[in-house]
Amino acid sequence: MSSSRHKEIPADSLLQLRQRLDHLPRKSPERARQVAEFADLYGVSPTTVYRTLKNLRKPRLTHRADHGKPRVLPMAELESYCALIAAVKLRTTNRQGQHVSTKRVIELLEEHGIETPQGLVKAPKGLLHKSTVDAYLTQLHLDQPRLQRQPPAVRFQAERSNDCWQLGCEVQRSRKPV
């Protein structure tokens, strides 16, 4: 045996043990006997063998089943709250780029409400959380850097090199002196 503190049980041996145990009934004393023999063979406790079998090739989920979907309220309602919060943050931005915090906008929305063209919008207390709103502001591209970014400049380019000049000439030619 190795002198390391944790003893490694080969994966192929564990798979063979699992296959043997799968053919036996759940409460069979033969299962316990085989696990005990296996534990003695590798110098570990039967509990370690059971724990290792349980964790062997166990599939792990990368995300929850409801990943990316709000659990508190419907997505459309959350989007409208996020758009309103982003608008308030954008509207209160000063020349130094500072604005009202997400937490304060949520407090205002819960306590007083915000007047919109559709009427007063007031969120129930405790419904919106700063971390959730910030995550969805980023996901919906309503975060400050994206909202304050200037649109890309589109340069006019004519198909042929003289198109611009010809356009100007044609306009001048079409005008007849009175």
Query: What is the tens place of the pLDDT at every residue in 161-172?
Result: 666 554 444 445
Domain presence at residue 5 = no
- Over the chain, what is the mean pLDDT? 83
Residue 113, phi-psi category: left (phi > 0), alpha (psi -120 to 50), beta (remainder): left
Domain presence at residue 63 = no
Same domain, 123 and 81: yes
Provide the whole-model pTM: 0.53
Domain presence at residue 177 = no
Q: Which of 18-32, 60-74, 79-93, 145-159 has the lowest mean pLDDT?
A: 145-159
Same domain, 92 and 135: yes
pLDDT class of 2 with cuts at 50, 70, 90: very low
Give residue 56's pLDDT: 79
Closest C-alpha among 79, 62, 61 to residue 70? 79
Domain presence at residue 160 = no
* pLDDT (tens digit per residue) in 43-102: 999 999 999 988 877 666 677 888 878 888 999 999 999 999 999 999 998 989 899 999
Domain presence at residue 155 = no
Domain that includes residue 25, residue range: 11-55
Domain presence at residue 121 = yes
Give the C-alpha separation, 167 to 15, whole Å: 80
Domain presence at residue 85 = yes
How many domains in the chain?
A: 2
Domain presence at residue 34 = yes
Same domain, 36 and 100: no
